[in-house]
Amino acid sequence: MAKTIGQLTEPQQKILAYITNYVEKNSVPPTIREIQSGTGISSTSMVSYHLKALERAQMLNRYERRSRGLVVTEPMRMHTLDIAAVPIVGVIVASAPAPTPDADALASAENSVQIARSLVGNVEGLYALEVKGNSMIDALINDGDIVIMRRDQEVRNGDLAAVFLTDRNESTLKRVFREGKRLRLKPENPTMKPFYVEARNAEIQGRVVCVIRRT
């Protein structure tokens, strides 16, 4: 049954975006291994699984006997304008600082991750961080995943945000709740408890708008 791009899962959108961008740059489709490497999907077997789903959704045609036998159906083709390159500017961990990237840092970032614009909306102010640690596993954010962040100093209660603790010179990715003059930073891991920090000692660096899973 045919689907719209908005009905695809996140990995399927990533794969479709990667294939169309690759074809526009190289004039040939990518191999399954190139797709796996370029999208950060955990294995080639998972890529094959998603390719079969895209074929069932009439998004692409596959020619199994050819290593580059992928053809995106024209009505569903995602062009370069549909794809955003978000700079990966650092790591978000519990024991090392990760200051809010300024315009120069964003412009000079050597690594980036490609993502369908339909997943993130307006790309202005976006940056990406690699996650280290397992405090957010119940939010489906695992060690090694990439979080797409929007630079924002204000978040709503319950938002997932990167918080820089100025008095500790540490950063952390947590669910944030404002409680008077304090912030309650809540992990999404049943083995870990929330902790409190003074709001004056905490800088909101951005909120999570999308997660790219690598594990």
Catalytic residue among 3, 52, 108, 135: 135
Active site residue 132: no
Enter the tokens of residue 89: 């500017």
Catalytic residue check, 52: no
The amino acid at residue 121 is G
- Given 43, 45, 112, 174, which residue is catalytic? 174
Q: What DSSP string describes 103-164? A: HHHHHH-SEEEEEEHHHHS--TTEEEEEE-SSTTGGGT--TT-EEEEE--S---TT-EEEEE
Task: Tell me phi and psi for residue 152, to 5 degrees.
Answer: -165, 130
Whole-angstrom distance, CA of residue 69 vs CA of residue 208:
36
User: Could you list the active site residues?
Assistant: 135, 174
